[in-house]
Structure 1
Amino acid sequence: MQSIIRPEMKLIDMCNILESKVKELVAAEGLKCGWGFPTGCSLNHCAAHYTPNPHDFTKLTQDDICKLDFGVQVNGMIIDCAFTVAFNDVFDPLIQSTLDATNTGLKVAGIDVMFSEIGSAIEEVIKSYEFEYKSKVYNIKPIKNLNGHSILPYHIHGGKSVPIIATNDDTRMEENEIYAIETFATTGRGYVTEGLDCSHYMKYYDNPFLNENSTRLNSAKILLGGINTHFGTLAFCRRWLDQLGFNKHALALKSLVDSEIIRPYPPLNDIPGSFSSQMEHTILLRPSCKEVVSRGDDF
């Protein structure tokens, strides 16, 4: 993908290319194998959870910084990874900060390691960088309310959060666990809030009535059946609903959200005018080694 992405490319085209390649490489077969979650391509002050909705033809420009966050799953085992793309070299220190921070997190992580050790090491690396933009120097800081996370079968967020700042969290990593070691850096305030125009959705894990549609809306019942069949508890996006033939799904989806069967995950934004970067790899803590399962020759 790094060789394909270019200025003036539509983000929706970029996502479709990547997702088509994932389907091809894993021979996608429903819930057995395929996409792990929607491809994120969050721009600039938006740090996470943005993918184009249908008819969103936003283009990547020469002066954007884009976080490309994508994943694949086989039998529910999800690999989660991300990198940051920019064409203007002014963003190099910001990108390098999360590259180095994630690699540091990968080195520190391991069986019996406390989360506090990982977060402290990551924060120290990110804060060692500065960003100069339009003759002004900014201190780069971690986004304190974004974290790495454990991964369980068909559950992208497995219940444990790996901080990217210093904390007193004495939780320890355990043998055979899978983690996404994920770092975010920003030139803004270091804290994200939810934005508008949601694109990411997922079923509630902890709702015992997940498959019981309490809505009276027939279209919502039909939509839930499609979600159960194609995504289960995996995250999905509105583009994918369109591709399945649910072209007029807005009202049905809102009904499922209002019924607390489906949970929305809106874009997560720092302050407008700021810039953010991300880097992520997935590790498996085997009894005898630590394996970075998302690592490749070029990433």
Structure 2
Amino acid sequence: NSAGKKKKKKKKKRGPKVQTDPPSVPICDLYPSGVFPIGQECEYPSLQDGRTAAWRTTNEEKRVLDKANEEMWSDFRQAAEAHRQVRQHVRSFIKPGMTMIDICERLENCSRKLIKENGLNAGLAFPTGCSLNNCAAHYTPNAGDPTVLQYDDVCKIDFGTHINGRIIDCAFTVTFNPKYDKLLEAVRDATNTGIKCAGIDVRLCDVGERIQEVMESYEVEIDGKTYQVKPIRNLNGHSIGQYRIHAGKTVPIVKGGEATRMEEGEVYAIETFGSTGKGVVHDDMECSHYMKNFDVGHVPIRLPRAKHLLNVINENFGTLAFCRRWLDRLGESKYLMALKNLCDLGIVDPYPPLCDTKGSYTAQFEHTILLRPTCKEVVSRGDDY
């Protein structure tokens, strides 16, 4: 079973590599055959009319179609294994008293190694979200942010990996105080419900309705006050495309969504957010997340600083999301005006932190699922969630 027999890898080492602690060995070196762990494979749910989808598992045509996309599924699986190992490491070191910057940098350094970062071919798919308490999404610290993680915080760790633009978007919530356990349970259950309901030809609105039913069935008591957990109605899951985190379809987490159906071959991020607040988020705080608009073609820019910054973005991130810290580490400075210019021109879109009411708590769980022709694969599933 030695790696030497395989022509794939340049490694001269004999015997299979094992992961270090802390993790530093790239996933592709741990699996030199290029066969990566498969996620949780599920039969598709029966549709409303009672027709079962079991036939897909063995149907010859569907199996051929499945095999034809094996390289793509493999890229997702490699990125997912990196995600699992990184998040396991994060759970081992994340503690109250650490700065948010330190948490994100440790996570990202580990992620860069395991994914074997290589330009636009492999790397981090978007900045590390570590949104706290009433803030549900899109917070990552900018340089100089003094925020320190507290014992009573509810922190959503949302990070992404990719191989060849095949993105794993997967998130979990970290708490230290057990008083939040029921809130987390509600949201984990809601996300798993969304995953169970998802499938080829399933209407997006039906997934949202089931998620809401489950989430709202939970009552949680925090500091002597009882809340019915609310889904955050203006946040949702989404289809994922190559180098495109939001590919156009949204998976609601409340009833009343679109009747559009999920289709064979699509990839979805199924995520739910539960809140003790209003169940609605608004833009708040300083922006850290940005992403090039996928549909904007070539725009000639005269301003030298903006032109330079766009070149940096194109070379390093393409259409993947990035944050200010990532511009800093590339040696960029005094770029805020140029970045604003690119935003004003519609070339880059800002994604500010999204927060519910002050004093509320929000939790999130998220997985990436592959709607393969033969089965549904929860590719980012782990022993943890």
Q: TM-score range by the shorter chain?
A: over 0.9
2:375 match: 289
1:134 match: 223
Counterpart check, 1:22 vs 2:111: yes
Partners of 2:141 and 2:183 lie apart in 1 by: 24
1:177 match: 266
User: Aligned AA for 2:276?
Assistant: T
User: Aligned AA for 2:130?
Assistant: C
Higher helix share: 2
Residue 130 of structure 1: how far off its partner (Å)? 1.6
Higher strand share: 1
Partners of 2:145 and 2:137 lie apart in 1 by: 17
1:145 match: 234
The superposition leaves residues 143-192 of structure 1 with CA deviations (integer Å, 9 ceiling, x where unpaired) of: 00000000000000010000001125211111110000000000000111
Matches within 5 A, 1:28-107: 28-107=117-196
Which has the larger displacement, 25-34 or 164-173? Answer: 164-173
2:311 match: 225
Q: What's the TM-score once normalised by structure 1's chain length?
A: 0.97
Partners of 2:218 and 2:295 lie apart in 1 by: 40
Partners of 2:278 and 2:105 lie apart in 1 by: 32
Residue 137 of structure 1: how far off its partner (Å)? 1.0
Q: What's the TM-score once normalised by structure 2's chain length?
A: 0.75
Residue 17 of structure 1: how far off its partner (Å)? 1.1
The superposition leaves residues 182-231 of structure 1 with CA deviations (integer Å, 9 ceiling, x where unpaired) of: 0000000011111130000001122233xx243x3211111110000000
CA contact (8 A) 2:208 2:257 kept: no
Q: Secondary structure at the match of 2:127?
A: coil
Q: Secondary structure at the match of 2:126?
A: coil
Which has the larger displacement, 276-285 or 52-61? Answer: 52-61
Q: 1:195 to 1:22 in 2, by over 3 A?
A: same
**Structure number, greater radius of gyration:** 2
Q: 1:231 to 1:168 in 2, by over 3 A?
A: closer
Identical residues among aligned pairs (%)? 58
Q: Secondary structure at the match of 1:36?
A: strand
2:332 match: 246
Partners of 1:255 and 1:287 lie apart in 2 by: 44
How many corresponding residue pairs?
296
CA contact (8 A) 1:213 1:224 kept: no
Partners of 2:293 and 2:193 lie apart in 1 by: 33
CA contact (8 A) 2:239 2:267 kept: yes
Residue 93 of structure 1: how far off its partner (Å)? 1.1
List gaps (5 residues or longer) in structure 2.
1-89
Residue 134 of structure 1: how far off its partner (Å)? 2.5
Matches within 5 A, 1:195-210: 195-209=284-298
Partners of 2:283 and 2:257 lie apart in 1 by: 26
Residue 27 of structure 1: how far off its partner (Å)? 0.8
Residue 247 of structure 1: how far off its partner (Å)? 2.4
2:102 match: 13
CA RMSD of aligned residues (A): 1.0
